[in-house]
Each structure stands twice: as structure tokens, then as C-alpha cells.
Amino acid sequence: MIFNQYEGYPLAFSLVYIIGWVAMYILRCNISSARYALYALLAFSVVNMLVNWINILLPQLYKRIVAFLLWPDMQQAAITMYEKQGYLCGLSEHYSRNAYFFVAGIMVIASFLLADRRLKNNIKSVVMLLLGILELAGLMMVGKRGHLLFLLMSLLIVYLLIAPGLFRKFQKAMKFVILGAIILALIIYLIPQAGLAIHRMIEQSRLGDISTGRFELYEKAWKMFLAKPVMGHGYGACSALTTDALGQHFAGVHNDYLQWLCEEGVVGFAIYFIASIGIYILSIKELKVLVTYEVEKGRAEQLLIIWSVLFQTFMLLYSLTGLPHYDYEINTVYFLACAVPVGLLAFEKCRVKIRQFRIHFG
């Protein structure tokens, strides 16, 4: 990515990967730091949720808040998008990024609930559940279809991975789907604006363009890949050159896998895909050990591995219609999620060596 850079993109956009991998290496032996990062992530998501509610209830106060917290161009973009298009931006300049802030908080809450799933009646779980419902309502009001769909799919996948037995998995899946449908219906009934995401799905389907112009972008990206299949056109090339059918500039292909093939060729795509899937497989194996088979393990470790698998699952699914490797707020957290299984493995090896040392010299 650094040596095959499109001239219209700054080198700093490529260097974020080096920073991310270095940070992941440093954090691999510091599990407590990752746990506190989850608390910080949840706190930010809750603040963002409150700002969104202020946007709806007190628009003038919202303008003052974003004027104080955001850069001038960002605050103007957020206000304009809400006033002209009706989309909520929260503490960002775009409603897509705002939707991710909600998703990030919901995933932390879901991880807490799944890690404490045998303590269904304690106050902490009830508070987390209510907070999660409020966050979900906020996400639905933002109107991002992909974020909502991939979040629900990720929650279901991780829930099934934790549940033992095929029949029990099916039962739990049905309970999950029914409960989720009831919660979504109640949210839409109580907060009509929360039906925006569902309305957009129905409307685009009726118009015959559920992809909202993405299929044309996919075709162009594939042709660009075929033109330079080995090394690609360079990082940022597709975002700088590709436009949709209306001639409007797009941030990219809106499919991370196609974007990697188009810009970095088979070589870059293989490095990225093998690394991502390798970490994901390791994470699932640790999830099985820490949550399914060894329930006596500390809940902190269970919390971290559940969250890690949940976030990675969302990242891999969201890559089908999004560009997470271009979004620093997603990428930074993704590197942290990848650091969790590596850190847990290193931590466990360290504990084994300590036990062996004590047995040998004790």
C-alpha cells in the first residue's frame, strides 16, 4: 500500500496500517488495557446517543454542541445533512459514521450480556439491556440499513457459536429472532422515526435498486482489477477515479474485498484476507475454549473474546457493502479486536510457563 500509492492520496492513509499493527503487538500482553478500552468505547457511544436525542428534541442546542465539539466543516456537514436530508450525524459529519458509533456501543453491551448470561436478573444486566435497546433505537433512527442488518447477523452468529449442541442452537436462534423482532416492532411503534432503516429497504426494493447504485461501482472495480490483477492500481485509486452512474463522486466501491482487489491486486488482497481470516479462526477457537468449554475462566477473558469475535464478524460482513479499511474509527477498534485473541494466547502461554517453573523448582 505504501509503495503502490495513487498520487491523489496522501501517504498517511497507508501508514495507519503500520501504526495499527504496532499497537496490536504492544497490546497483545496487556489484556486489562483492552478491557478498559471497551468501557471507553461504550461511554463514547452513550454520549453520542444522547447527542442524537438532543438533535431530535432540541435542534438549536444540538447546533451549539457540534459547534463546540466539531471542526467548522464537520459541524456544517452534520447540520446540513439533518436539515436537508433528515439524517442524524451525532458526533460526526456523516450519518454512516454515526451509525457505526451506535453499533460499537451495542456490541460492547451485547458482550457484557453474553458474558453474564447466567446472571439474567442482576441489576447490571437489566441496565445494560435497557441501554442496548436505546442504542438500537438510535441506530434505527439513523437509517443505515447495512449497519443494522450486519449487526443483527453478527449478534446471531456469535450467539450460536456460544450455544452448545445443534438442536439447542436452533432453539436459541429462534428465541433470538423472535425476541429481536418483538423489540424492533416495539421500538418502531413507540418511536416512528426509528422505522427509517426499514422504510429505506422497502423503498429501494420498490424502486428496483436495492444496491443504491453499488452494482455499477462493482462492475467498474472488477474491470479495473482485470486490467492490473497482480499489483493493482494503487491505494486510493478506486476512490479517486470511480464515480456512480449519475457522475457523483463515491468514497469507493462500497465493497472492501473488491476495493482491495482493484487497488492492491491479488498480492495485497491475499495478505489482507489471510491475516484477517487467520485471526478470526484463532478468535473462534479461543471463544469455544473460554466460553463454551471452560466456564470457570474469568468473566473478563470471556467478555473480551466475545467482543473480539463479535466485532470481527461485523467487520467481515460490513466489508461486503462498506469500506472499513478507509475508516480510521473502525480500523483502530478492529486492530484492538485482533489484539485480544493474540494477547489471550500469549497470556495463557505465560501462565503455563510460570506453572511449569514452579513445578520444576518448587
- For 60-111, write each residue's pLDDT tens digit: 999 999 989 888 888 999 999 998 888 999 999 889 899 999 999 999 999 9
**Cα Rg of the chain, angstroms:** 22
Residue 75 lies in a domain: no
298: pLDDT confidence band, cut at 50, 70 and 90? low
Residue 69 lies in a domain: no
Using 50, 70 and 90 to split pLDDT, how confident is the model at 358?
Answer: very low
**pTM score of the predicted model:** 0.80
**Cα→Cα distances 88→92, 102, 128, 192, 305, Å:** 9, 12, 24, 15, 32
Check residue 28 and give its pLDDT.
Answer: 57
**pLDDT at residue 121 tops 60:** no
Q: Residue 108: which domain range?
A: 12-57+94-361
In a domain, 127, yes or no: yes
The three cell numbers locating residue 299: 468473566
Residue 175 has pLDDT above 90, yes or no: no
User: What pLDDT is stored for residue 111 in this prediction?
Assistant: 92
Say if 279 falls within a structural domain. Answer: yes
pLDDT of residue 100: 93
The predicted-structure confidence for 197-229, as pLDDT tens digits, reads as follows 655 555 554 444 444 566 777 888 888 888 888
pLDDT score, position 40: 87
Per residue in 301-350, pLDDT tens? Answer: 888 999 999 999 999 999 988 878 777 788 878 888 988 888 887 766 65
Answer whether residue 81 is part of any domain.
Answer: no
List Cβ neighbours of 45 (8 Å cut-off, separation of 6 or more). 101, 102, 104, 105, 106, 108, 135
Q: Which residue has the higher pLDDT, 171 or 151?
A: 151
Task: Please give the mean pLDDT across all residues of the chain.
Answer: 77
Position 287 pLDDT exceeds 50: yes
**pLDDT value at position 311?**
96
What is the predicted pLDDT for the residue at 354?
Answer: 42
**Domain assignment present for 73:** no
* Range name among 129-143, 209-223, 278-292 with the lowest pLDDT average: 209-223
Residue linked to cell 470471556: 302
Residue 85 lies in a domain: no
Which candidate, 248, 192, 156, places its Cα nearest to that of 56?
192
Which whole-number Å values give the CA distances from 116 to 99, 125, 126, in the listed order?
26, 7, 11
Average of pLDDT values for 163-188?
Answer: 68
Residue 164 vs residue 44, higher pLDDT: 44
Q: Is 65 domain-assigned? A: no
pLDDT of residue 186: 75
Model pLDDT for residues 230-275, shown as the tens digit of each residue? 888 887 777 666 554 335 555 677 888 888 888 888 998 898 889 8
β-pair partners for 249:
243
Number of domains comprising the chain:
1
**What share of the chain in percent tops pLDDT 70?**
68
